[in-house]
């Protein structure tokens, strides 16, 4: 009997040990394996990548050539400004106006060997409606010479200006085709940021066709700061593809978003300024108020939801009225090219030859009509 009790006791002990082992094993499996040996590595397949170019272009050589076509520009003008009547009374001054100097600094690009320099309109002193008493423009060439410049012409709509210095044998920058730019293409911005002469910054084309009324801007992350305005944006071949003009900034400095006027547009403006002294831009005379409609507005006004520009008002006895355009029309095409918004309409009409007749498609009472409307010279804003 004692032997039987010993056997039962030994069996019970063995059973309890087995159970304890299972419980302990279960607990170890649920804990984090921090102190345990690392699990065996499972091979991860490599991500397939497309081989890149053999190497970047020699941007140092490109930049060295490009700075020989870049200039610094300063303009000083005397303007008349209205004085504060209260300050006039306090300081015993005569009320009215006073003259004060205003200075602007920026950059430019040499576009001909005989002294034509392209820049921004605001660099040479956009007067913003103030009366200019005197304007002095100085261009500092890459060799350090500072020369007085005369204005050939300006275009406020594109913020471009062309000036001329009396010099020969300059190094013009070769023109590039801005229509061939691609997103993520390398570009260099050259200019005079914060008066640091001939500064070069590297970036890519971040986006294309950022539209305003007459310009489809090039967006770049090449650093552009105050003073870069009017300077060149060049591609990796050293060709002029844009004129740097503005930045998006909440601090006043570089935040990674800059904009340039495409070189193809800049060249057209320059050619007009040389030939006519102004930009010859087509217009339909008599359009008083145009708006782009949302789908909801079109539905609420029982207008077809085709993209276009809605004519709200027209001037009496105008060219547009005589050609058959009416308030309530939705303009959807100009010479067969679709109108998607106000900017596209402005550019399509502006590109038409002055004195020609454009076929303008409109939606009226749910029917599509084609009107023959004369194209006239856009009136100057000044």
Residues with active-site annotation? 122, 159, 229
- DSSP letters of 45-110? PPPP-----S----HHHHHHHHGGGEEEEEEEEEEEEEPPHHHHHHTTPPSSEEEEEEEEEEEEEE
Taking each continuous run of H as one helix and of E as one strand, the counts in the chain are 7, 20
**Phi, psi for residue 214 in degrees, rounded to 5:** -120, 5
Cβ contact 112:197 at 8 Å = no
The DSSP 8-state label assigned to residue 244 in this structure reads E
Cβ contact 110:116 at 8 Å = yes
The C-alpha atoms of residue 52 and residue 294 are separated, in whole angstroms, by: 43
**Ramachandran area for residue 350 (φ above 0: left; ψ -120 to 50: alpha; else beta):** alpha
The C-alpha atoms of residue 290 and residue 205 are separated, in whole angstroms, by: 32
The DSSP 8-state label assigned to residue 193 in this structure reads G
- DSSP letters of 296-314? HHHHHTT----S-EEEEEE
């Amino acid at each position: 009997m004692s032997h039987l009790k010993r056997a039962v006791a030994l069996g019970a002990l063995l059973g309890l040990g087995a159970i304890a082992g299972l419980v302990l094993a279960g607990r170890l499996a649920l804990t984090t394996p921090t102190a345990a040996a690392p699990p065996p590595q499972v091979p991860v397949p490599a991500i397939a990548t497309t081989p890149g170019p053999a190497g970047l272009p020699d941007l140092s050589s490109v930049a060295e050539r490009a700075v020989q076509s870049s200039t610094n520009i300063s303009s000083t003008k005397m303007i008349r400004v209205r004085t504060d009547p209260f300050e006039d009374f306090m300081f015993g001054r005569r009320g009215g106006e006073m003259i004060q100097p205003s200075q602007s600094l920026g950059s430019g690009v040499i576009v001909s060997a005989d002294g034509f320099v392209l820049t921004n309109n605001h660099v040479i002193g956009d007067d913003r409606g103030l009366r200019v008493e005197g304007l002095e423009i100085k261009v500092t060439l890459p060799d350090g010479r500072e020369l007085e410049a005369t204005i050939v012409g300006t275009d406020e709509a594109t913020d471009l200006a062309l000036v001329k210095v009396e010099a020969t044998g300059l190094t013009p920058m070769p023109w590039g085709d801005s229509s061939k730019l691609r997103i993520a293409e390398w570009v260099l911005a050259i200019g005079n940021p914060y008066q640091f002469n001939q500064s070069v910054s590297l970036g890519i084309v971040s986006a294309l066709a950022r539209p305003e009324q007459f310009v489809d801007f090039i967006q770049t992350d090449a650093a552009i700061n105050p003073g870069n305005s009017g300077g060149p944006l060049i591609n990796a071949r050293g060709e002029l593809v844009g004129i740097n003009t503005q930045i998006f900034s909440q601090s006043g400095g570089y935040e990674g978003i800059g904009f340039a006027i495409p070189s193809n547009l800049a060249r057209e403006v320059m050619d007009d300024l040389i030939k006519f002294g102004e930009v010859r831009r087509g217009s339909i005379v008599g359009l008083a108020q145009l708006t782009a409609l949302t789908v909801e507005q079109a539905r609420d006004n029982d207008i077809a939801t085709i993209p276009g520009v809605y004519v709200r008002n027209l001037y009496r006895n105008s060219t547009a009225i005589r050609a058959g355009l009416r308030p309530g029309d939705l303009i959807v095409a100009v010479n067969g090219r679709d109108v998607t918004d106000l900017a596209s309409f402005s550019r399509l009409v502006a590109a038409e030859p002055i004195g020609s007749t454009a076929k303008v498609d409109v939606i009226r009472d749910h029917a599509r009509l084609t009107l023959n409307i004369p194209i006239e010279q856009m009136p100057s804003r000044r």
